[in-house]
Amino acid sequence: MDMPELDDEPCEQCGLCCRIFGPGITPTAANVYTWIENGRTDILRWFAANRDDGSRVPCIALHGEDLGNIVSFEMCDPETGGFVTVCPFLRRVSRERYLCGIHSVKPEMCCTYQPWVWGETFFNRCPALKKAGNSCRWPL
Ligand code: SF4
Ligand code: SF4
């Protein structure tokens, strides 16, 4: 969601996908590296990393050279260490419109989330897909 306003951009910024799937997003190592390099502690604090030895570390404590030992990332509450129920980066800007608060550096899986493109994430509740008659288009 929350792509630039392009003529062929069908996302209606309803935020439904983010509200449902947002707490389960996982960044790539490249995403985390970018956040580390740019000092984005506001983002890093919401993720934990699992090392190949089975230990877990908050992403905010990572350095770029640590990433080679990380096998997965997951979102977690920085206060409790537990699960989150709403993506902390989702911003409601009007009654029916939502934007991503970290749009320019959001996780790759959010960037490629296009239910209206054939072979991408299937989400039949996406209004943009419904508007297209539930007919996916081929990737451009
Ligand atoms: S559900 Fe569809 S229209 Fe709504 S924000 Fe997600 S991709 Fe955009
Ligand atoms: S990071 Fe942004 S695009 Fe991804 S789920 Fe959260 S609000 Fe949505």
pLDDT of residue 5: 47
What is the per-residue pLDDT across 73-124, written as a single tens digit (0 to 9) for each? Answer: 999 999 999 999 999 999 999 999 999 999 999 999 999 888 877 766 778 8
Q: Is residue 20 included in any domain, yes or no?
A: yes
CA 4 – CA 133 distance, rounded (Å): 23
Q: Is residue 92 included in any domain, yes or no?
A: yes
- 17: β partners: none
At position 73, the amino acid (one-letter code) is F
pLDDT of residue 14: 95
What is the share, in percent, of the chain residues with pLDDT greater than 90?
73
> Which mutation among 20, 100, 123 tests ligand 2's pocket best, with the greatest number of atoms within 8 A of CB?
100
Q: Is residue 43 included in any domain, yes or no?
A: yes
Q: Is residue 2 included in any domain, yes or no?
A: no
Q: Is residue 10 included in any domain, yes or no?
A: no
Antiparallel, parallel or unpaired: β 70-75 and 56-58: unpaired
Task: Give the pLDDT band of residue 6 (cuts 50, 70, 90).
Answer: very low
Domain count, the chain: 1
Mean pLDDT of 65-73: 97
Q: Is residue 106 included in any domain, yes or no?
A: yes
Q: Is residue 85 included in any domain, yes or no?
A: yes
Work out which ligand 2 atom sits closest to the CA atom of 103. Answer: 2
Judged on CB neighbours under 10 Å (0-12, 13-18, 19+), 8 is: exposed
Helix (H, G, I), strand (E, B) or coil at 117: strand
CA 1 – CA 34 distance, rounded (Å): 21
Domain housing 93: 16-131
Q: Is residue 138 included in any domain, yes or no?
A: no
Task: Give the pLDDT band of residue 10 (cuts 50, 70, 90).
Answer: confident
Task: Give the pLDDT band of residue 130 (cuts 50, 70, 90).
Answer: confident
The DSSP letter of residue 92 is: E
